[in-house]
Structures are given as structure tokens and as C-alpha cells.
């Protein structure tokens, strides 16, 4: 099946961002995408000052969340699965960085709150602390869709390989990471981390970034939305401008790679183990 990566230019105008996102989703579907992925924080500028202002109460319903209302409507009308990037979410007195996944019927299938908050301080390069305004999520997110089982992470989540290992152990063959790496970490690690997570787990990894806007005066995204295959190969990518990129996913490739190099069978469980803490209460399984 085909996946569409919608690299969007983000402005301070939320209504304009929503319209721009819908247009890009429609373009991806017209090009044959059955699954569409949006960027991290696509409806708002990426800043601690903006998160409280642009946040939406997703649980309160679509009247209180115009961004997810649009995502639901367009997923249903186009009959596609939609990994809706992320938006600032307000829940009670807390704010989260949240990705909503909608099925082809327009219903909300999953909601991932960013687990690992982006708190970094690289002297002379970049300082950003999401924890000033955002609360970390508490649950890994894996969701069954019309195009298979998908694991969800947001941006900084990609740096923590245990999360991707957990998703692979639960049967995901595709992990989607809406993200917004910056001009310091982007050139160094954006593609490297995608390829590493794909090779580590023999899965597809899809990422989607906002387009770069150096004139904004704020946080500048690296861009380069990408689909990586289970061999670590770059299937499709783009540069830093606004774009809709289409790539093809074939899960048979996952099976071939795992058969040729059976890492799961060769892992030394007698020496080291990944414990899926969130499932211990369900069946005491250790992956």
C-alpha cells in the first residue's frame, strides 16, 4: 500500500494550518495513499508560549477540537487511515503533545501522548525544554488499522530504542514518528535514527516533519520527511520545503528480512531481556 507524508508549512494562523493540512491530505489520497502521516505540532508554532494558546480539548469532542474534527472528517470522506501528526492537547490542568490516529470510518482509534519530552541544552546551539509547559505521556501506543498494526512515537521518542523494540515485539511492522528535529540535531541524527530503528527491529519507519521556515524567528524544523525500509534503506524522502511525498510499503519485505536474518530467534534472552512493563499486569509476558 502507499503512504503519504505531508510536510506542512506551519503558520501562526490555526485556521490556515487546518485548511493547509486538509488540502495536503486530499492530495496524498489522490495520489493513492491509503495511510497518511502529518507532522509534529502542525496546527501551532512550536514554542512553549504557543502550546497553551493553541491547545485543544480532544476528549471534550470535536466542538472543542477543530483540528481533530477535520482529521476525522477527511479520514472518513477519503476512506483512509490517518496518523494525524500531533497537536497540543489540553486535558484538565495539563498539556500534552498528542498524536491522534483515525480509521477510515473517521473514528478515533488511538491517542499517543509524547512519552519522552524534548528537554535539551546544547551550548551555543539550541536550548528547549518542553517540560516547561507539557506533561509526558504514560503509555506506549500500538494500533490495529486497515493497513496493519502500527506503533506510534513522537519526535524525541525515536531516540529511545526500547520503545521501538517493544512495538516490534507486539507485532508492529511499521512505526510512525511525526517529528520536528531542528537545524542542529536534524543534520546529525534525523535520518540516522530512522534507519537505526528500522534496522534494529526489521520494520518500516515513517517520519513526517513540518517544512522549514527560517523567516519565522522561532523554532526552525529540519524537514526531510522520510520512509525507511526494514533493511535500513531510504524508500522515499524530500528536502525541507512543503511537500507531499508518496512511498510504498510492502510487509512481505519485513518477512523476507526477518527470515534472512532471524534476529528475534537469535536474541540472547538468557542474558538480557526487554520487559514490557505496561503488559506485565495483563499476562506477565516478557519480550
Is 15 a domain residue? yes
The domain total for the chain is: 1
**Which helix (H) or strand (E) covers residue 119, if one does?**
strand 119-122
Contact predicate 128/47, CB 8 Å: no
Beta strands in 22-173 (DSSP E): 33-37, 81-83, 87-91, 94-102, 108-113, 119-122, 126-129, 141-145, 148-152
Q: Going residue by residue through the chain, which has 287 residues, state the pLDDT in tens, using 9 for 90 and above.
A: 999 999 999 999 999 999 999 999 999 999 999 999 999 999 999 999 999 999 999 999 999 999 999 999 999 999 999 999 999 999 999 999 999 999 999 999 999 999 999 998 888 888 899 999 999 999 999 999 999 999 999 999 999 999 999 999 999 999 999 999 999 999 999 999 999 999 999 999 999 999 999 887 789 999 999 999 999 999 999 999 999 999 999 999 999 999 999 999 999 999 999 998 887 766 544 44
Site of grid cell 505540532: 41
Residue 274 resides in a domain: no
Indicate which residues carry an active-site annotation.
Answer: 40, 114, 155
- Does the residue 281 lie in any domain? no
Instruction: Quote the domain boundaries for residue 149.
Output: 2-264
Domain presence at residue 13? yes
CA 73 to chain CA centroid, Å, is 20
Whether 206 and 177 have beta carbons less than 8 Å apart is answered as: yes
Cell of 191: 535520518
Q: For residue 166, what are the contacts with CB-CB under 8 A and spacing of at least 6?
A: 140, 151, 274, 276, 287
Cell, residue 11: 503558520
Cα dist from 109 to 78, 150, 155, whole Å: 16, 11, 20
Q: Is residue 276 part of a domain?
A: no
CATH number assigned to the domain comprising residue 105: 3.60.110.10
Helices 191-201/161-169 angle, 10° precision: 40
CB atoms within 10 A of CB 137: 21
Q: Do the domain assignments include residue 28?
A: yes
Q: Cell 528536502 sits at which residue?
A: 239
The reply to whether 286 falls in a domain is no
Identify whether 284 is part of a domain.
Answer: no
Single pTM value for the model: 0.94
Amino acid at each position: 500500500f502507499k503512504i503519504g507524508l505531508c510536510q506542512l508549512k506551519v503558520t501562526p494562523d490555526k485556521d490556515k494550518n487546518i485548511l493547509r493540512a486538509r488540502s495536503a491530505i486530499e492530495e496524498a489520497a489522490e495520489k493513492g495513499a491509503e495511510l497518511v502521516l502529518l507532522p509534529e505540532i502542525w496546527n501551532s508554532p512550536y514554542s512553549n508560549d504557543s502550546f497553551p494558546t493553541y491547545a485543544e480539548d480532544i476528549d471534550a469532542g470535536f466542538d472543542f477540537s477543530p483540528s481533530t474534527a477535520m482529521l476525522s472528517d477527511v479520514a472518513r470522506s477519503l476512506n483512509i487511515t490517518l496518523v494525524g501528526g500531533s497537536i497540543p492537547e489540553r486535558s484538565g490542568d495539563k498539556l500534552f503533545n498528542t498524536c491522534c490516529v483515525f480509521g477510515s470510518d473517521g473514528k478515533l482509534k488511538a491517542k499517543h501522548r509524547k512519552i519522552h519530552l524534548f528537554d535539551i541544552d546544547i551550548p551555543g546551539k539550541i536550548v528547549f525544554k518542553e517540560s516547561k509547559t507539557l506533561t509526558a505521556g504514560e503509555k506506549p501506543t500500538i494500533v490495529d488499522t486497515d493497513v496493519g498494526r502500527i506503533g506510534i512515537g513522537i519526535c524525541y521518542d525515536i531516540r529511545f530504542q526500547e520503545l521501538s523494540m517493544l512495538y516490534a515485539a507486539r507485532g508492529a511492522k511499521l512505526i510512525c514518528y511525526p517529528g520536528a528535529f531542528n537545524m542542529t540535531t536534524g543534520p546529525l541524527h534525523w535520518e540516522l535514527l530512522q534507519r537505526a530503528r528500522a534496522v534494529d527491529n526489521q520494520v518500516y519507519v515513517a517520519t513526517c516533519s513540518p517544512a522549514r521556515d527560517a523567516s519565522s524567528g522561532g523554532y526552525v524544523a529540519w524537514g526531510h520527511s522520510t520512509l525507511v525500509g526494514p533493511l535500513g534503506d531510504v524508500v522515499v524522502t524530500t528536502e525541507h520545503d512543503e511537500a507531499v511525498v508518496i512511498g510504498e510499503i510492502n510487509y512481505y519485505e519485513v518477512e523476507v528480512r526477518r527470515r534472512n536474518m532471524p534476529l528475534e530467534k537469535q536474541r540472547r534472552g538468557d542474558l538480557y531481556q526487554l520487559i514490557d512493563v505496561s503488559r506485565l499486569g495483563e499476562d506477565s509476558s516478557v519480550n
